[in-house]
Amino acid sequence: MTGKPGRTARGGAQASAGDLLDLVRSGRAVTRGALQQMTGLSRATVGQRLDRLFRAGWLREGAGGPVDSPLGGRPSITLEFDGSHAVVLAADLDTRHARAALLTLTGEILAERAGALVIEDGPEAVLAELGGWFAGLLTETGRPPEAVCAIGLGVPGPVDSETGRVVQPPMMSGWDGYDIRGRLSRAFTEHTGAGPVPVLVDNDANLMAYGEQRTGYQDCRAFVLVKVSTGIGAGVVVDGAIYRGVDGGAGDLGHIRVGTEALCRCGSYGCLAAVASGGAVARRLTDAGVPAASGSDVRDLLAAGHPEAAALAREAGRRVGDVLATVVTLLNPGVLMIAGDLAGTPFLTGVRELLYQRALPRSTAHLDVVTAKLGERAGLIGAGALVVEHLYAPERVEERLSALGV
């Protein structure tokens, strides 16, 4: 989880300790001399600001770098972000199950848990249970609760990033407007005895997209991930940042009207999710005499090579591909990634058939259509990365250093 590319550090006396940390984390300046060059700060001022970061435990000295001067001399000592000074907790909620993990600040998963957790049981019960999972992960790894710097959570609904509350979620009955941040922080305290920690909440497809883009496609300036499971949602990453829209509603592909009479869970007729999601395919299989309760059951049937499941998944892919032709024309992404329960060959084949048929060649000339690389861990890794970027943003670094008294 390195710093985002493309930031420009403030020059002169305005460049703060947070700006220096950002330059080191992004790899744009990893020696004292390079920091002086990038910021215009004096050697003494750079030293003073780096000293605060060393005392906080956020920076460390690495190996010697190359000798900058043609006259020789001692090699420059490199600077590194010290990812060992804290850990991050992350969780990814789906409609009927969840995953949770303890991660390092550099994105390594130290411990992980997955299990049944039904979103319709409501936020009180679900978030209390997550607090217990988090405590178990800390016990498993021997990490003290005080080492946790923040929690990241992905949920299957639109999220207002300013408040961390879901906004009219079609698949999260009882969660609309609920204080998820406050309740999850309290659940962590109840199960660990530690003080409150910051909680960041985002849409699950957003976090999956962020995790996949940061891990495997950092050079892709416009990245789209489409998650097709119980519902259908998309995460969009533009210039290294999640695009959420004005109140978190960007990417809600499942509720685009596609001209059918099928009733959707949102209460409307004709939504894409009503005919092309994992839940929709499961219902059609059940009607055909093949029992399937959810998208995860469809995934299992596809893995077993079930012909009816494969045919319906391909048909669903064609419907989604028809919608994605518009998405690709609008956003002109370099990567379109398919993830979720249906993300296999039959569905991907259907997507490609309609996408390339309906979209202009100019829109797809430099487009890679791929399946997810991180699998079910994508949301966890994305949540961890989002937490780190939030906590170690230059303006927040200053606040946190002052709070630490350094």
The model carries a pTM of 0.91
Residue range 235-258, pLDDT digits in tens: 999 999 999 998 888 999 999 999
Q: Give helix 295-303 / helix 307-331 axis angle, nearest 10°.
A: 110
Cα-based distances in Å from 80 to 64, 83, 404? 11, 9, 20
Strand partners, 165: 160
**pLDDT tops 90 at residue 230:** no
Higher pLDDT, 170 or 236: 236
User: Poorest-confidence range of 63-72, 122-131, 223-232, 277-286?
Assistant: 63-72
Strand intervals (E) in 107-164: 109-116, 148-155, 159-160
What pLDDT does 260 receive?
81
Chain mean pLDDT for the chain: 92
What pLDDT does 8 receive?
45
Which one-letter DSSP state was computed for residue 21? H
What pLDDT does 227 receive?
96
CA distance 131 to 300: 30
What pLDDT does 244 receive?
94
Q: Count the Cβ atoms, other than its own, within 10 Å of residue 147.
A: 15
- Residue pair 342/228 in contact (Cβ under 8 Å)? The answer is yes
**pLDDT tops 80 at residue 132:** yes
- The whole-angstrom distance between residue 237's C-alpha and the CA centroid of its chain comes to 10
Structure tokens at 197: 């920690």
The sign one gets for the Cα dihedral 269, 275, 276, 278 is: positive
Residue range 176-185, pLDDT digits in tens: 999 999 999 9
DSSP string, 367-400: -EEEE-SSGGGHHHHHHHHHHHHHHTSHHHHHHH
**pLDDT tops 70 at residue 70:** no
As a whole number, mean pLDDT of residues 76-84 equals 91
